[in-house]
Amino acid sequence: MQERNHSHLAEQLQTQSFELNCLEHPLFEQLPNYRKVLFLIDELDLFDSLAIIDLLSQNKIETSIYVKTDRQQGEILNHIQHITHNNINYVSSFENDEVETLLNEQMIGTRIFISGPWEMIQQIKEIAGTVGFTDEEIHYNGSGETNDKVYCVKCYSYNKSQNTNEITCEHCNTVLDVSKHFSKRLDAHLGYIQVK
């Protein structure tokens, strides 16, 4: 969005009522049991996360929000800062050491919500796993192209995911059924030999 459109949107947000609707998201399934949610968001994905932030606020669940941005000022960011009661922290990057320190400081029961490019999500998920967060405690909303891979169980090679249930291995030409199972160890979906 261009800067002039940011200003116009910020003006509209300040003078008009609006309602944000959330799609079904696993973050909301056990909402009453949450103590705190830590948000790590790329600025470009901040607006998409507003509905989730608002719902948590209405349910009086503690939130800490870290937004990766190059701009420290801006009307839309100032407005969001206002509606979240100055609960947004601006950072220029999500460096490994800084994220690890931040995650280590969290109390037990904290959930993490990551929103941004898939590469950023993968990086933060790996750090969170190392620190001790479980898959159930990590939620995310990715943007852009994914780097999903399919692992061929015949020739043990990786193939680019084509978002279909069936692919042909680029290395051994075997037709593979793509499993919904994602192997964390292999960082890929498993491609099983198709049986006819």
Encode pLDDT of 52-110 as tens digits. Answer: 877 777 778 888 889 888 765 566 666 667 666 667 888 888 999 999 999 999 998 89
Q: How confident is the model at residue 44 (pLDDT cuts 50, 70, 90)?
A: confident
Q: Is residue 20 part of a domain?
A: no
Same domain, residue pair 78 and 109? yes
pLDDT confidence bin for 26, thresholds 50/70/90 = low
What confidence category does residue 23 fall into, taking pLDDT thresholds of 50, 70 and 90?
very low
What does the pLDDT look like over 118-143, one tens digit per residue?
889 989 999 999 999 998 899 988 88
Same domain, 155 and 139: no
78 and 155 co-located in one domain = no
- Start-to-end C-alpha separation, the chain: 50
Q: Which domain holds residue 164?
A: 149-193
> Is residue 189 a part of any domain in this protein?
yes
Residue 19 lies in a domain: no
56 and 129 housed in the same domain: yes
Residue that has been written with the tokens 């968001």 in this structure = 41
Residue 102 is predicted with a pLDDT of: 94
Is residue 49 within a helix (H) or strand (E), and if so which, with residue range? helix 46-58
Instruction: Tell me the pLDDT band of 1, cut-offs 50, 70 and 90.
Output: very low
* 181 and 138 in a common domain: no
Q: Does 10 map to a domain?
A: no
The total number of structural domains that make up the chain:
2
The pLDDT value given to residue 151? 95
Q: Give the β-pairing of 166-168 and 175-183.
A: antiparallel
Q: Tell whether 169 and 116 lie within a shared domain.
A: no
Q: In CATH, what number is assigned to the domain containing residue 118?
A: 3.40.50.80
* Same domain for 85 and 116: yes
Q: Which residue has the higher pLDDT, 11 or 104?
A: 104
Residue 71 three-state SS: coil
pTM of the model: 0.68
